[in-house]
């Protein structure tokens, strides 16, 4: 005991020191980001502040400027240039030069960049959410959930685990390479391009940028023409944080424009991440095929929300409402198809309708509204057409939310949360991505039936399965053809940033987030080296040296059987048949048993 006692004391002292170090906050500098020109009070005093009247479908639009306005009020916010292909190439060229410097940066420097961003986000949540709210029409609560929490979770995961997953990873060497070491190394690809959607402008910019920069790349991100105003402000935060850690200029770029701008970006970079529609995703793939760059596509979904009869309904209905109505339903991982067991169908519908009828819709910064605006022009008309198609085919509206006092500044950019019953799969609302606050609810009778219904979709992004029996819920989810699944919850997988995010079928392919998403920003290189260099080296056995011996194939047969025989006895029997080295030969010409096992490289 006298021997172990000092070791235990040392171990306890070490653990205590580590704990005390954790309690010491890191030194993180603050950054100053000018927001004077984006605050609502300042914007309202501008002489050019007016109500923007966007062109209707079919009318000619201005192609050299991206016009920005508030969807909830149509107040004009300004414009940004639609970059030409040559201008895009110039941005990428600048980023490429900066990346060559940044690739040599330490993980310590990269972590400090993340800490500075995290500190700014925590101290300016209201500003970040207000900018998102004004540019996309979402409420402050929706912005906090979808912009702030998700981004902070990604930053903290990278701080805790990012370096570990980018370090060389050693792998097994197999039987023929016992004298070797095998590993996977991760190097920056170069310039990561991203074309992102408008629904979460802060997170959709930060998500690809964080992975790209932490893995040693540069990033050029084309923001949506529907969220350019906010994206360009968020860029200031990134620039200030990079400058604070001494990063090279031009490491991150935000570019604005339309389809031509995006096409030029795809043709110029080393990898493209796209978040958008399946139709545009196919065009991205076609363009990327010209330069054979890797592609990650996240193309939305039609997620199933399955409720078995043995659930706690009072809890599930609240989750269901949030799953469908978060950000006015403009959520790629939102619940769009509700399947409820027939035994609780009526009760579920009545409780959901009660919640929906209590929801007030209006301009999110003009009062206490539960739900904000629809971001894209004329999308409300598409949503109503989906509802009309369902009604024409036998569905009924079980309940709707109400509009608040929209005021004279607002226009038709709102859609009330709507519950549809008696729906089936002949209706467009159960097949097409709605991207709006509609809850179509359908009955099911058995687990087998609901699995079949849930898989009857061209999309395959995610699902949520609720049951009082967790094993039952897991079994149902395991049979659904999708990329992410939440058991007795909604979208919880995205808040676990160690997990990959992405889908199958028309929801796209490839993954961002998690270990897979981080490593997808890397050149993955397989490396094999000698384990005991220079004492044990690869030597080609004499029978298969050039010119090959007449017994070369016989030797190879015995070698294969020695290495891969089904039993130890089979392998030893084959080993005993391999010719022994002939006395007097040079060591590098011998065919000894040891050289057979340790010195053959195909």
Dist. CA 142–CA 23, nearest whole Å: 32
CB 230 within 8 A of CB 66: no
HSE (CB half, 13 Å, CA atoms) of 320?
33
Active site residue 336: no
CB 248 within 8 A of CB 101: yes
CB 251 within 8 A of CB 102: yes
DSSP string, 477-545: HHTS-SSEEEESSSSHHHH-TTS-B--EETTEES-BSHHHHHHTTEEEEEEEEESSTTTS-----GGGS
| Catalytic residue, candidates 130, 225, 298, 336 | 298
CB 520 within 8 A of CB 512: yes
CB 95 within 8 A of CB 191: yes
In order of 65, 78, 304, 378, 569, the CA distances from 257 in angstroms are: 7, 14, 34, 20, 69
Residue appearing with tokens 């599930």 = 316
Q: Evaluate the CA torsion angle 82, 84, 90, 95 in order and state its sign.
A: positive
Please state whether 101 falls in left (phi above 0), alpha (psi between -120 and 50) or beta. Answer: alpha
Residues involved in catalysis? 298
């Amino acid at each position: 005991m006298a021997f172990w006692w000092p070791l235990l004391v040392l171990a306890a002292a070490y653990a205590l020191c580590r704990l005390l170090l954790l309690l010491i906050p890191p030194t993180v500098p603050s950054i100053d980001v000018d927001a004077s020109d984006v605050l609502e009070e300042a914007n309202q005093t501008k002489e050019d502040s007016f109500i923007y009247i966007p062109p209707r479908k079919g009318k000619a639009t201005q192609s050299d400027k991206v016009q920005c306005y508030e969807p909830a009020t149509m107040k004009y916010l300004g414009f940004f240039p639609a970059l030409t292909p040559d201008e895009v190439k110039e941005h990428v060229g600048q980023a490429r030069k900066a990346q060559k410097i940044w690739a040599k940066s330490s993980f310590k420097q990269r972590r400090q960049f993340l800490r500075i961003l995290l500190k700014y986000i925590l101290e300016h949540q209201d500003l970040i959410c207000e900018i998102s709210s004004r540019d996309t029409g979402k409420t402050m609560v929706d912005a906090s959930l979808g912009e702030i929490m998700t981004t902070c979770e990604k930053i903290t995961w990278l701080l805790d685990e990012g370096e570990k997953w980018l370090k060389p990873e050693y792998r097994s060497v197999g039987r023929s390479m016992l004298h070797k070491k095998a590993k996977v190394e991760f190097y920056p690809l170069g310039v990561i391009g991203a074309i992102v959607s408008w629904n979460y402008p802060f997170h959709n910019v930060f998500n690809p940028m964080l992975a790209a920069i932490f893995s040693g790349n540069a990033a050029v991100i084309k923001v949506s023409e529907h969220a350019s105003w906010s994206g360009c402000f968020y860029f200031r935060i990134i620039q200030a944080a990079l400058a604070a850690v001494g990063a090279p200029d031009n490491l991150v770029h935000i570019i604005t424009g339309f389809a031509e701008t995006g096409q030029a970006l795809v043709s110029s970079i080393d990898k493209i991440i796209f978040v958008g529609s399946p139709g545009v995703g196919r065009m991205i793939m076609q363009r990327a095929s010209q330069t054979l760059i890797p592609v990650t596509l996240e193309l939305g979904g039609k997620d199933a929300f399955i409720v078995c009869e043995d659930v706690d309904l009072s809890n599930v209905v609240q989750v269901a409402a949030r799953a469908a109505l978060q950000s006015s339903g403009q959520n790629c991982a939102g619940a769009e198809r509700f399947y409820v067991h027939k035994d609780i169908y009526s009760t579920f519908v009545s409780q959901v309708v009660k919640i929906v009828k209590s929801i007030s819709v209006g301009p999110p910064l003009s009062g206490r509204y539960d739900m904000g605006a629809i971001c894209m022009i004329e999308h409300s008309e598409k949503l109503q057409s989906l509802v009309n198609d369902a009604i024409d085919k036998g569905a009924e509206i079980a309940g709707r939310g109400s509009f608040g006092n929209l005021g004279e500044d607002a226009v038709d950019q709102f859609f009330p949360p709507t519950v549809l019953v008696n729906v089936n799969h002949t209706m467009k609302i159960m097949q097409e991505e709605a991207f709006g606050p509609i809850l179509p609810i359908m009955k099911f009778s058995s687990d087998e039936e609901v699995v079949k219904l849930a898989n009857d979709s061209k999309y395959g992004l995610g699902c949520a399965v609720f049951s009082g029996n967790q094993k039952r819920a897991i079994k149902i989810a395991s049979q659904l053809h999708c990329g992410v699944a939440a058991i007795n919850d909604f979208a919880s997988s995205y808040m676990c940033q160690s997990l990959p995010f992405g889908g199958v079928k028309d929801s796209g392919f490839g993954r961002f987030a998690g270990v897979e998403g981080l490593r997808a920003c890397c050149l993955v290189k397989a490396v094999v080296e000698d384990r005991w260099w220079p004492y044990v080296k690869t030597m080609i056995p004499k029978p298969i040296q050039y010119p090959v011996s007449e017994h070369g194939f016989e030797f190879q047969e015995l070698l294969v059987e020695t290495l891969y025989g089904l039993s130890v006895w089979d392998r030893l029997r084959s080993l005993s048949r391999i010719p022994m080295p002939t006395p007097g030969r040079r060591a590098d010409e011998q065919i000894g048993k040891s050289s057979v096992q340790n010195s053959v490289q195909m």
